[in-house]
């Protein structure tokens, strides 16, 4: 009897689940320890290839489904690590239960998978966003057919592995270079020494990377010096931070406006009414209602908070999917903070419920970025979408349980989180600071307006917001990667071969640092 979920096979499920447990555990530790989480996409692709490529009847699509499942727990772990420790930082005696955390993380994983399935076609097939990590996974899977391509990919991957080992494991290379040390008005200009970031900049191209770099220049070298001169550094930094967040969320408002306009046009023209799948809509509604009920009955989240949370998660997952596709960066904790603040502004909430809300959003947004990378590689490989989504759903739910158990195990082992501890959890610290509200309402509101307007004018406003918000070392290396790719394309006459080599080398850079980051994280646990 034919497996209706093929190429998601039993051996693929077993391989994927075993790998998922290891990746989820190491990702939780990495996120708490380092405050950063490398994409595991290429690492799990290589592991899945190593296990299944020689198996009888294996296909690239089976390997694709297996690594889709295997990577699911990593970003779920990130969603929990980037939010919940903040509760214990504020209230070390908080009696948050493991059961509540499992419920919100499983709910977030299910909603993340559901909402991603709704946005996949638009972002991958219609918008054709690059999804750098998904593209890297595709190149890793298919390079075995082309010896020259394989040599290019694995040479760059090997160089990236060695470089990352020297930098992170042996500490012989600084992780950041300072180009300009800064002064009273102009912040320091730094460059992140990262093959992965250089590769992402090359893959996303000059338009998106240029907008990102422009955001950095605008935020740090126009707004900051002028604002510091007139209003002081504290107010200016708060304005810049919230302006960047506002630009990203304003993009979401622009998306909503465009979606409503598109639906209205179709209603007026009476188009595509038959294309509306009532069964899918009913299933979507049932899952959302069940999620509201489960959260309200089984956790500290109230029914009013749960009702407000669902549209917040949808907006967060869309923005997460779009930014991951455009830039390879998924600021899940930023989306968690914004939904948290929205809910807190509408209803009276307890500290525990606010952090559980943030965790649900971060898990859903984190999983979305991972899903979309995998769906991008699946689209390029012609892997059946339903098989990948089933695998991602299974992986997300199992990963949610594993991540919750690991979080509580680490809390029991280390005692506390935050500055001065062995597990500083910097993102969760930021969430704990933001629970009290935005620092600059004018900056946020201005960013909302400009972000929505730019998106409606077809400008990548969310990417601009990233540049305004993120540190200069990240934005500068992305711009440098795009500049290198631009120069190569202008100097090499064979455009097709040049594009292929840029894609392969960039994928190797991404995969090498990602693989090494995961292995270092696993090794550091023992």
Q: Is 432 within 8 Å of 90 (Cβ atoms)?
A: yes
C-alpha distances (whole Å) from 200 to each of 33, 295, 361, 477 are 24, 37, 25, 9
- The pLDDT tens digits for 338-365 are 888 889 889 988 999 999 999 999 999 9
Instruction: Note the pLDDT tens digit of each residue in 204-248.
Output: 778 888 888 999 999 999 999 999 999 999 999 999 988 988 887
**Among 53-62, 255-264, 334-343, 366-375, the least confident range:** 255-264
- Most distant pair of Cα atoms in the chain: their distance: 74
pLDDT attached to residue 97: 93
State the Cα–Cα distance between residues 418 and 89, nearest whole angstrom.
6
Place of tokens 């489904």: 65
| Burial class of residue 174, CB neighbours in 10 A (0-12, 13-18, 19+) | exposed
Listed range (162-176, 424-438, 458-472) with the worst mean pLDDT: 424-438
The predicted model scores a pTM of 0.75
Q: Are 428 and 229 in contact (CB under 8 A)?
A: no
Q: Give the pLDDT mean for 502-519.
A: 77
The sign of the torsion formed by the CA atoms of 118, 80, 402, 302 equals negative
State residue 262's pLDDT score. 65
Q: Rounded CA gap, 60 and 54, in Å?
A: 11
Mean pLDDT of 415-426: 73
- 3 or 259, higher pLDDT: 259
Over range 432-436, report the average pLDDT.
72
- Nearest 5°: the CA angle 210, 214, 215 is 120
pLDDT at 132: 84
For 436-461, the pLDDT digits (tens) are 667 788 998 999 899 989 988 888 88
For the stretch 141-194, pLDDT in tens is 887 655 666 677 788 889 999 998 999 888 899 989 999 998 989 999 999 898
Residues in the chain: 526
| Whole-angstrom distance, CA of residue 74 vs CA of residue 104 | 16
**Cα→Cα distances 2→15, 54, 344, 383, 385, Å:** 20, 21, 50, 16, 17
The pLDDT value given to residue 483 = 92
Mean pLDDT, the chain, rounded, equals 84
- The residues that bridge with 261 in the sheet, in sequence order, are none
What pLDDT is attached to residue 298? 94
For the cut 80, the answer to whether the pLDDT of residue 397 exceeds it is yes
What pLDDT does 401 receive?
Answer: 96
Question: For residue 64, what are its two tokens?
Answer: 């694709």
Percentage, residues of the chain above pLDDT 70 = 89
The pLDDT of residue 302: 94
- Res 474: pLDDT: 82
pLDDT, tens digit (0-9, with 9 covering 90-100), for 105-116: 999 999 999 998
Where does residue 59 fall: left (phi above 0), alpha (psi -120 to 50 degrees), or beta otherwise?
Answer: beta
* pLDDT for position 51: 83
pLDDT recorded at residue 34: 60
φ and ψ of 479, to 5 deg: -60, -40
- Under 8 Å between Cβ of 197 and 463: no
């Amino acid at each position: 009897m034919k497996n209706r979920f093929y190429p998601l096979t039993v051996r693929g499920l077993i391989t994927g689940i075993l790998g998922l447990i290891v990746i989820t555990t190491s990702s939780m530790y990495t996120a708490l320890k380092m405050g950063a989480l490398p994409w595991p996409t290429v690492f799990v692709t290589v592991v899945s290839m190593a296990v299944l490529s020689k198996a009888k009847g294996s296909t690239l699509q089976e390997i694709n489904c297996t690594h889709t499942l295997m990577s699911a727990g990593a970003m779920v772990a990130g969603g929990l690590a980037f939010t919940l420790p903040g509760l214990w930082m504020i209230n070390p005696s908080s009696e948050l239960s493991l059961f509540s955390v499992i419920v919100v993380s499983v709910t977030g994983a299910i909603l993340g998978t559901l909402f991603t399935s709704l946005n996949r076609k638009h972002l991958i097939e219609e918008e054709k966003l690059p999804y750098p990590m998904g593209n890297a996974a595709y190149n890793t899977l298919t390079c075995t057919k082309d010896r020259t391509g394989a040599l290019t990919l694995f040479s760059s991957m090997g160089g990236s592995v060695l470089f990352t080992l020297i930098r992170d494991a042996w500490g012989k290379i600084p992780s950041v270079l300072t180009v300009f040390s800064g002064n009273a008005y102009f912040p320091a200009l730094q460059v992140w020494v990262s093959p992965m970031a250089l590769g992402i900049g090359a893959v996303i191209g000059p338009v998106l990377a240029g907008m990102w770099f422009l955001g950095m220049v605008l935020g740090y070298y126009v707004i900051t010096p002028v604002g510091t001169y007139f209003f002081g550094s504290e107010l200016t930094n708060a304005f810049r931070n919230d302006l960047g967040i506002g630009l990203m969320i304003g993009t979401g408002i622009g998306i909503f406006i465009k979606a409503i306009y598109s639906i209205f046009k179709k209603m007026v023209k009476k188009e595509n009414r038959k294309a509306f799948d009532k069964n899918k809509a009913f299933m979507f509604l049932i899952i959302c209602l069940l999620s509201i009920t489960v959260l309200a009955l089984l956790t500290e989240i109230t029914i009013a908070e749960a009702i407000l949370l669902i549209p917040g998660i949808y907006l967060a997952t869309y923005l997460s999917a779009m930014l991951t596709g455009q830039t390879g960066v998924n600021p899940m904790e930023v989306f968690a903070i914004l939904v948290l603040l929205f809910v807190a502004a509408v209803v009276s909430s307890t500290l525990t419920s606010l952090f559980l809300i943030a965790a649900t959003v971060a898990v859903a947004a984190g999983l979305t970025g991972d899903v979309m990378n995998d769906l991008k590689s699946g689209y390029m490989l012609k892997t059946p979408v339903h098989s990948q989504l089933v695998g991602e759903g299974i992986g997300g739910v199992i990963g949610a349980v594993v991540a919750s158990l690991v979080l509580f195990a680490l809390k029991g082992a280390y005692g506390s989180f935050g500055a001065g501890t062995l597990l500083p959890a910097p993102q969760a610290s930021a969430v704990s600071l933001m629970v009290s509200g935005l620092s600059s309402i004018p900056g946020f509101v201005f960013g909302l307006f400009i972000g929505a307007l730019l998106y409606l004018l077809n400008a990548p406003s969310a990417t601009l917001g990233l540049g305004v918000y993120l540190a200069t070392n990240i934005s500068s290396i992305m711009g440098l990667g795009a500049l290198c790719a631009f120069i190569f394309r202008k100097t090499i006459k064979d455009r097709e071969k040049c594009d292929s080599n840029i894609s392969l080398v960039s994928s190797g850079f991404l995969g090498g640092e990602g693989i090494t980051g995961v292995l270092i994280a696993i090794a550091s646990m023992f």
